Amino acid sequence: MAGTRGRFITFEGGEGAGKSTQIRLLAEHLRGLGRSVAVTREPGGSPGAEEIRNLLVTGGTGRWRPVTEALLHYASRHEHLQVTVLPALAAGTWVLCDRFADSTRAYQGNGLGVPFAVLDALHAQAVGDFRPDLTLILDIDPEAGLSRTSDRPGAEDRYERMGADFHRRLRDGFLDIARREPERCVVIDAARPIDAVQADVRGAVMSRLGVGAA
C-alpha cells in the first residue's frame, strides 16, 4: 500500500453500543485482506491526548463547565490527529477510531448544550477540513446500552454516570448527524448479536470504500 493514502473509519454511538468489539473484529478482517490497520480512540490516541483523556472520563460528572469540556476534547483531538492519525494515513495505514468529532457534537452539543456554532469554530481551528472517509454509528436504546456497561471494570465511567435524559439526547444527536450527512454516515442497529452487527459493518465498508466483505 506504499504511496496510497489510508482510510479513516470512525465508530460512533452511545455508551455500551459495542464499538470496541466491532473495531477489533473489523481490524482483524482488514488485516486478513492485507491492509495495514491501526486502532485508536478518542479522547486519547497519543501520549499527550491520553493525559487529557484522564481529565475527561474520570471524576465527578460536573467537574467541567460544558465549554471547558469541549475545549479539552478539541485539544486532545488536535494532538491525536497530528501525532497519530495523519502520519498513519500518509503511510497507507487504515485507521479505525473509537469516537471522533461527532461524539463532541453529540455529547457536548446535544448532551450538555454547548452551542453548535462554538463547536464548529473549535472544529475549524483544531481539525480544519479533515473528515472521516466513513462513520459507522452503532445505534442502541440508551437504557439497553447502559445495562451492558454495568459490569465493565475501571474508573472511566464519568459519562456513563450522567442522567438518562442526557443519554437520550446523545442518541438523538448521533441520529441527527446521520440524517444530515448520509454520504459519510451509516447507522447500524447495535442491539443485535455481535456477528450480525459485524456483518453490517463489513457490508458498509464494502459498499462505501470498496473493500471485500467476505
pLDDT digits (tens, 9 = 90+) for 150-193: 666 566 788 888 888 999 999 999 999 999 999 999 999 999 99
pLDDT in tens, 24-38: 999 999 999 999 999
What is the pLDDT confidence band of residue 214, given thresholds at 50, 70 and 90?
Answer: very low
pLDDT in tens, 61-108: 999 999 999 999 999 999 999 999 999 999 999 999 999 999 999 999
Domain that holds residue 91: 8-209
pLDDT exceeds cutoff 50 at 19: yes
As a dihedral over the C-alpha atoms of residue 111, residue 80, residue 91, residue 102, rounded to 10 degrees, the angle is 10
- Cα-Cα end-to-end distance for the chain: 20
Is 28 a member of any domain?
Answer: yes
What pLDDT was estimated at residue 160? Answer: 83
Is 16 a member of any domain?
Answer: yes
Q: How many domains are there within the chain?
A: 1
Report the CATH number at residue 178: 3.40.50.300
Is 82 a member of any domain?
Answer: yes
- Which segment of 45-54, 95-104, 141-150 scores lowest on mean pLDDT? 141-150
Is 214 a member of any domain?
Answer: no
Is 3 a member of any domain?
Answer: no
Is 2 a member of any domain?
Answer: no
Burial class (CB in 10 A: 0-12, 13-18, 19+), 89: buried
Q: Which residue has the higher pLDDT, 15 or 39?
A: 39
What pLDDT was estimated at residue 2? Answer: 47
What pLDDT was estimated at residue 161? Answer: 86
User: Amino acid letter at 16?
Assistant: G
Residue 46 DSSP class: S
